[in-house]
Structure 1
Amino acid sequence: MPLPNLDSVESVLAIVVVFGALVFFHELGHFLLAKRAGILCREFALGMGPKIFSVKRGETEYTLRLLPIGGMVRMAGEDPEMDMLQPNMEIAIERDAVGKVTHFLLDGAQSGGSARAITGTVLRYDLEEALTVTMEVDGEQRNFSIHPQAQLVKDGREVQIAPLNRQFKGKSVSQRFWAIFAGPAANFLLAFVLFVALGLSYGVPNDAPLIGEVKAGGPAAAAGLLKGDKVLSIEGTRVETWQQVVEIVSKSPNKELTFEIEREGQVSKVPLKVTSDENNIGKIMVTQSLTSAPGEALKYGVTSTYKFTVMILKGLGMLFTGGVGLDDLSGPVGIFKMTGEFAQQGMAVLMQWAAVLSINLGLFNLLPLPALDGGRLAFLAVEALRGRPIDPQKEGMVHFLGFAFLMLLILVVTWNDLQRLFA
């Protein structure tokens, strides 16, 4: 199988935009619900690996990373930043006008010339609940209150402290649940929006008995039917939906039917000789009409999202029951390839493919597997049932093993993709 034409600017741009949008909206869901719960979000990242761009706005650093294979929202309580401050460290502190510590200068007595800077040795501290630090200053123990948004400063880098009420673990089960669930939910919402946009831009099948495109040389064209004709009845049987037209025609191969049609307010009867295909199903060589009505586009968004969700769930079920094997799965390489190919077929096809991928991403993340959103939701469900959280170290180990398994799975399906590409 030949490689896709990735020299095409359209194909490369399509891959970047589609995968960037899927990851962006997934992480945006996590981010918005975490912020709503009051969780300190340290970083909103697109991609993995080394940073290639970053900018800080408010409390959050927005970064673009080298490898375009995912993203993350790094929430307070999920990182080791607080380990920067240790007992017995020689530091300087800066305070605000009311005496609360606003900066811990961990490089030593670099006070920056502030009149409120104090240098000493850290004896003990509480950055989560009491927000206090005890230091030995000039041979005397002194206690200081800490501002809830105080900064730890080391090597020119500032890291905001996170009191327990700003950490992920400090929130209620329901708040944590929605912060996690919002990622996959955003993917379903994105799919719905894409399907609605498709309907508004390109039209969706109209259930009314209206003639769409009429193929030249076909029975309908020979009988004089035109695009926009409304079918009122066939052989005296009144029709009100396009499906009724299809059913009558498909059951009448090689028969002559009388169509009663309405065109520009005028009603007439048109005799039409139905042909048949290789399966002896009647055909008149017309297409269903399309509509871009907002109501129909919204309905199309709902039904399409539901239809593809059910279809993908059935596929996942076949994977667990043995109906589909690992050899049938595609990984990032295969998906990149298909995205480039669909981009060559036009914007409508690419939009539908992006919507299906978004549903795939949402469903995959909801699987109750360690390291996925579904796995974290499963731990929250256990916590809710037992009334207390699972040991963080044990949960972390389970997620680590799950992540290792997922990486192995990605390697396997990537190998499958490469074999297909060069077969």
Structure 2
Amino acid sequence: MEQVLWSIGGFIVALGLVVTFHEFGHFWVARRCGVKVLTFSIGFGKPLYKWRGKDGTDYQIAAVPLGGYVRMLDHEVDAVESEHQVSESFRAKSVGQRFAIVLAGPLANFVFAIAALWIMLMIGMPAVKPIIGAITPDSIAERAGVPSGAQIVAVDQRRVQDWQDVNLALVRRIGDAQTVLTVRNRDGIEEQITLPLGQWQFDPDRDSTIASLGMDVFRPAISNEIAFISDASPAANSDLQVGDKIVAINGTQSGNWEQIRSFIAAHPDQLVTVTVLRNGREQQIPVQLGDNDGVGFLGIVPYQEAYPDEYRFTLQYGPIAALQGGVERTWQLMGLTMSMLKKLVTGDVSVSNLSGPVGIAQGAGAHASYGLVYFLSFMALISVSLGILNLLPIPMLDGGHLLFYLVEWVRGKPVPEHIQELSFRAGLLILMTLLVITLFNDIGRLFA
């Protein structure tokens, strides 16, 4: 229930801020071009709170927090009483001014992303160096010769600092023939390794880009010693104690924690005998395992070694360097989004990878629960995605309007009304189809 509340709250805050900034872009440039703005609305539907500003604009927060709009004066639709009012109409402005007003929304999204990342980098984000852990046998990484324990320092000649950088760089390579990793071994020697991606099977619902290539993120060793026992768990209802070291289950020796975890998961609701080492002596303790949707559980947490200090760092900069970093990361996100859209069109990426409102809400909730810096990073990604989406030349979106204005500029007169009307209907059909696909994908992931 708590995660659901985080998802709903994070979704409303993230989308509200991103959409508000988008609409403010339209609003700000419209006012600079002398257009009278009638309504500035955050959300759709019935207004929950409304007031009129000194500029004559009605500002409101509406009931459905799934978007927003700026309604400008249109002398061909709204009642006007003078030539001055006609001159304040959006439709009365030059094609260049109308183009600038519409373009300002997506551009505002990119500015918002830069600002969010700028704040994030000034606050500082805890990060770890991309040190490679275990390599999966017969995987792409093993066949390419990726060494365990090495640090990834660049992907396709682009320097990376942490695993987030690596992940974004690899996502961009989905559908490509290969990618090149630059790794530094423990002796400080760098080498370039080419990963062939022709057989790369990446399912974002199942594992990460890194794991799907056969690489594991380095993690400190986990012992078999019990560090924590959950209340009202199978372990709590048995004689197990914190500090016990598990050496066997049902008489089978357990060499590492992964063996223990796998055995427990495969035996839900079964009575097992856990052999532990306590005060130098072995004891056999019967435990009735729990059942969590067909997966066995015991309710314990093992001790884990501390993460090496030399692998950890804080990604933090001063105001100028953080601004530069924000611009660079926003540009990377724009390139990644454009690359994914291109691959969706060419078929290199399946539409099953698209996420809709439910997926965005889950992402917002997860990042919000991690902390402010992670939430800022997530909002930057959503803002860039919204900006790019709105620039697509699809009628009903800003990009569709921009296309009409370009045609009007070339022809010297507006696109005929009946063609615009047909185009808007086609655009609505496209958008509704995309919405259905993304919702279907989201629901499929929820029940997968």
Q: Aligning the two structures, in what range does the TM-score lie when normalised by the shorter sequence?
A: 0.5 to 0.7
1:175 corresponds to which letter in structure 2? Q
1:422–1:203 Cα change, 3 Å = closer
1:5 maps to 3
Which aligned segments of 4 or more residues in structure 1 are displaced greater than 6 angstroms? none
1:295 aligns with 2:320: yes
After TM superposition, list the pairs within 5 Å mapping 1:210-225 onto structure 2.
none
2:70 maps to 73
Paired residue for 1:187, among 95, 109, 116? Answer: 109
CA distance in 2, matches of 1:340, 1:347: 12
1:197 maps to 119
Paired residue for 2:98, among 176, 195, 211? Answer: 176
- Mean Cα displacement is larger for which, 189-198 or 64-73? 64-73
CA distance in 2, matches of 1:188, 1:342: 20
Alignment deviations for residues 38-91 of structure 1 (CA, whole Å, 9 cap, x no partner): 111111111122333322223211122222221111111188433xxxxxxxxx
How many residues are aligned here?
Answer: 286
CA contact (8 A) 2:26 2:70 kept: yes
1:52 maps to 48
| Higher Cα radius of gyration | 1
- Mean Cα displacement is larger for which, 309-318 or 402-411? 402-411
CA contact (8 A) 2:39 2:57 kept: yes
* CA shift for structure 1 position 300: 0.9
Identity of matched residues, %:
33
Paired residue for 1:31, among 12, 27, 48? Answer: 27
1:22 aligns with 2:22: no
CA distance in 2, matches of 1:28, 1:17: 16
Unaligned 5+ residue runs, structure 2? 132-160, 163-181, 191-214, 219-307
2:60 maps to 63
1:338 corresponds to which letter in structure 2? G
CA contact (8 A) 1:203 1:292 kept: no
After TM superposition, list the pairs within 5 Å mapping 1:252-271 onto structure 2.
none
CA contact (8 A) 1:22 1:358 kept: yes
Alignment deviations for residues 373-421 of structure 1 (CA, whole Å, 9 cap, x no partner): 0110011011111111112343233123312321232122112211211
CA contact (8 A) 1:196 1:301 kept: yes
- After superposition, the CA RMSD in angstroms is 3.3
* CA shift for structure 1 position 17: 1.5
CA distance in 2, matches of 1:190, 1:247: 35
Alignment deviations for residues 345-378 of structure 1 (CA, whole Å, 9 cap, x no partner): 2222111011010000000000111111011001
TM-score, normalising length: structure 1: 0.61
CA contact (8 A) 1:192 1:355 kept: yes
Alignment deviations for residues 105-155 of structure 1 (CA, whole Å, 9 cap, x no partner): xxxxxxxxxxxxxxxxxxxxx8464xxxxxxxxxxxxxxxxxx4xxxxxxx
1:310 maps to 335
Paired residue for 1:43, among 33, 39, 44? Answer: 39
1:186–1:295 Cα change, 3 Å = same
* CA shift for structure 1 position 18: 0.9
CA distance in 2, matches of 1:80, 1:248: 68
* CA shift for structure 1 position 171: 0.5
| 1:401 counterpart SS class | helix
- Mean Cα displacement is larger for which, 368-377 or 324-333? 324-333
2:269 maps to none
* CA shift for structure 1 position 173: 1.3
After TM superposition, list the pairs within 5 Å mapping 1:391-410 onto structure 2.
391-410=416-435
| 2:27 counterpart SS class | helix
1:155 maps to none
1:379 maps to 404
2:437 maps to 412
1:176 corresponds to which letter in structure 2? R
CA contact (8 A) 1:4 1:337 kept: no
Alignment deviations for residues 225-255 of structure 1 (CA, whole Å, 9 cap, x no partner): xxxxxxxxxxxxxxxxx99x974746559xx
Specify which structure has the bigger relative contact order, considering alpha-carbon pairs within 8 angstroms and separated by 6 or more residues: 2
2:352 corresponds to which letter in structure 1? D
